[in-house]
Amino acid sequence: MIGGSIAGCATARVFQRGGFEVDVYERSAKDLEGRGAGIVLPIALQNQLIQNGFLMKNYAGCALQQRDWIVHDKSHEGRTLWQQAVAASTHHWGALWRALRVHIDDDHYHNNCELLDYHNTPDGVRFRLSNGQEQQVDLLVAADGYRSKIRACMPWGSESDYAGYVLWRGNFEESRVVDRSIIKRMDASQSWLSVCYEGGHSVVYMIPGLASDSAETQRRVNWAIYTQPPVDLTLDEPKSVPEGCVDEALYSHLRDLLNSSFPPQIADLIRLSPCEEVSLQPIYDELAVHFCDQRVMLVGDAAAVVRPHTASGATKALEDALTMESLLAQHDDLDTLLEAYAQERLSACNALVDIGRRIGKAQVEGTPDWSSMSVTDFELWNARVFDGQSLYLYADDQDA
Ligand SMILES: Cc1cc2nc3c(=O)[nH]c(=O)nc-3n(C[C@H](O)[C@H](O)[C@H](O)COP(=O)(O)OP(=O)(O)OC[C@H]3O[C@@H](n4cnc5c(N)ncnc54)[C@H](O)[C@@H]3O)c2cc1C
């Protein structure tokens, strides 16, 4: 298993339970848990992961039941345009990673080990690691994320598409909030707040703290803002500006947007993230071409990259793992198993990439005149965006 993040840990567990001897090689020298922020999962998936023993019984997220679409109208809170039913739960990325990581014995999880290259052999795969080791295995699983080296070496290669816009992100502990009226507003209807403006929109929601298995846990405010990139920023490769690297000049673009387009109540909340805690990420996506090449299989972001609008990065990775688990119960032969996995996941993942593109086009690249829209306009516009396809996030689609 190359990559020990969400996809790597979940898939390692699946193969271990299927009777394989599994080793996970992770490039990072340190634990990953401190680096993530908020993610969203379908409630049904969360329950399935608990039921199947991937997450402990008391594992909990924060419930989300509604998305409030808000426009700046010079009032303090802004005007709510539409309330959309949602059924999902939010999680701390680090808590989810840790919950999956505990299943892998430390002797089989190797930090500071980067895959350098690999080649297929008649009876499996041979690969080289940065620590000088060379290994021969029956199956190599690429869980090495959105810039997968393994995928790039496959016959179809790797080509991510830059969407032309960026995502600002931040999160901080709830105790930082002095005027708690906005927290009460979100808690009252378990809602996620979306401010909409020309050329983008934002999301704000609560997530559990890192120790989400403890009643003492302090929640965090998680926010993200989609907008056009500053004109002086060159984004010719899918590389983020991580926390600690956003300078004052770059941060001033975010500040200008908050001043011009956000209701003060929500702008004040986001301003609680200082420059050094904010990150900027260009939005890319990538269709899956195939999920397997001989004895090498792709999972998670290594297989396909979806835009964050779909809130599906972790969901997709976990579904890859669960699909493999159910197929393992049906197939003894490894090659047949891999073919069945590839067939099952390809169309599901590409449908998500497609929805992400359509949402991005409607909600960032070509935003409507939001403030003139009635509830009916909103519903019709949203139905056109989805064009009959469903996304787990929205309650109306739960049975689809
Ligand atoms: C530290 C971290 C924090 C994240 N935080 C968030 C978040 O807050 N919100 C969110 O929505 N998404 C977050 N993501 C992305 C999210 O995890 C993925 O979109 C999704 O869960 C799919 O995960 P993945 O395991 O396929 O890929 P990733 O999570 O990207 O993991 C890929 C892993 O492979 C390792 N790797 C890469 N190349 C090599 C190599 N050559 N050899 C060995 N190891 C290699 C990387 O170090 C990484 O740990 C984060 C990813 C990481 C790594």
Query: What are the tokens at 388?
Result: 């009959």
Pair (34, 133) in one structural domain: yes
205 in contact with ligand 1, CB cutoff 6 A? no
145 CA to centre of ligand 1 in angstroms = 5
Pair (341, 314) in one structural domain: yes
22 in contact with ligand 1, CB cutoff 6 A? no
Residue closest via CA to ligand 1's atom 37 equals 144
Pair (213, 276) in one structural domain: yes
pLDDT in tens, the chain (400 residues): 999 999 999 999 999 999 999 999 999 999 998 877 899 999 999 999 999 999 999 888 999 999 999 999 989 999 999 999 999 999 999 999 999 999 999 999 999 999 999 999 999 999 999 999 999 999 999 999 999 999 999 988 878 889 999 999 999 999 999 999 999 999 999 999 999 999 999 999 999 998 755 544 689 999 999 999 887 777 666 678 999 999 998 999 999 999 999 999 999 999 999 999 999 999 999 998 899 999 999 999 999 999 999 999 999 999 999 999 999 999 999 999 999 999 999 999 999 999 999 999 999 999 999 999 999 999 999 999 988 888 888 855 444 3
Residue closest via CA to ligand 1's atom 50 equals 36
Query: What are the tokens at 187?
Result: 């808690």
241 in contact with ligand 1, CB cutoff 6 A? no
Pair (177, 151) in one structural domain: no
Cα distances from 279 to residues 91, 171, 264, 305, 351, in angstroms, run: 19, 10, 22, 19, 28
Structural domain includes residue 86: yes
Pair (191, 234) in one structural domain: yes
Q: How many domains does the chain have?
A: 2
36 in contact with ligand 1, CB cutoff 6 A? yes
Structural domain includes residue 34: yes
Which SS3 state, helix, strand or coil, does residue 87 take?
Answer: strand
Kindly provide the b/e burial profile for residues 305-327, where b requires at least 16 CB atoms within 10 angstroms of the residue's own CB: bbbbbbbbbbbbbbbbbbbbbeb
Pair (198, 183) in one structural domain: yes
337 CA to centre of ligand 1 in angstroms = 25
Give the residue, out of 5, 101, 223, 285, with the most ligand 1 atoms within 8 A of its beta carbon, to mutate for a pocket test: 5
Pair (236, 374) in one structural domain: yes
Structural domain includes residue 51: no
Structural domain includes residue 56: no
Structural domain includes residue 1: no
31 lies in which domain range? 6-41+95-160+288-358
User: Measured from the CA of 3, which atom of ligand 1 is nearest?
Assistant: 34
For the domain that residue 309 is a member of, what is the CATH number? Answer: 3.50.50.60
Pair (392, 276) in one structural domain: yes
2 in contact with ligand 1, CB cutoff 6 A? yes
pTM attached to this predicted model: 0.94
Structural domain includes residue 49: no
6 in contact with ligand 1, CB cutoff 6 A? yes
Pair (35, 86) in one structural domain: no
Structural domain includes residue 55: no
19 CA to centre of ligand 1 in angstroms = 26
Pair (300, 351) in one structural domain: yes
Task: Give the whole-angstrom CA distance, residue 193 versus residue 185.
Answer: 9
Structural domain includes residue 303: yes
User: Measured from the CA of 169, which atom of ligand 1 is nearest?
Assistant: 8
Cα distances from 396 to residues 7, 127, 170, 308, in angstroms, run: 28, 46, 29, 20
For the domain that residue 381 is a member of, what is the CATH number? Answer: 3.30.9.60
Pair (68, 187) in one structural domain: yes
User: Measured from the CA of 129, which atom of ligand 1 is nearest?
Assistant: 42
On whether the CB atoms of residues 72 and 16 are closer than 8 A, the answer is: no
Cα distances from 276 to residues 142, 198, 243, 250, 393, in angstroms, run: 32, 27, 6, 11, 31
Pair (314, 372) in one structural domain: no
